[in-house]
Amino acid sequence: MATGETGFDDVSFDLISLQYHSLKAGHDYGQYVRDARNAGRDDIADFFEQVMSEDSERAARCHAFLGELTKSSESGPAMS
């Protein structure tokens, strides 16, 4: 895998980016859940909780893939 200017290969960079955005969104969704519950919209709060859970699962999968890549010499100098 080719490494970019950051020292990370594109796939590692993409996984890190997706993991970050999934975790950040999960944090934001907590407020959305509270807003929906305060508005008496448990159905919408449940939807936001489902989305939050899906993002959490995405972040965990990214973490696992990144763990695999750190064991590979193909991931670039920043991952070794």
Quick one: CA torsion of 60, 75, 78, 15, rounded to 10 degrees?
-30
User: Which one-letter amino acid corresponds to residue 19?
Assistant: Q
Distance CA 22, CA 42 (A): 23
User: Which one-letter amino acid corresponds to residue 72?
Assistant: S
pTM as predicted: 0.74
13: tokens are 């960079």
In the chain, domain spans: 21-71
Question: In 3-state terms, what secondary structure has residue 2?
Answer: coil
- Over residues 6-28, mean pLDDT: 89
pLDDT at 9: 80
In tens, the pLDDT along 42-79 reads 999 999 999 999 999 999 999 999 999 888 766 555 55
Which residue in this structure is represented by tokens 């991931």? 75
| Mean of all residue pLDDT scores within the chain | 87
| Residue 5 neighbours by CB distance under 10 Å | 5
pLDDT band at residue 6 using 50, 70 and 90 as cut-offs:
low
pLDDT band at residue 33 using 50, 70 and 90 as cut-offs:
very high
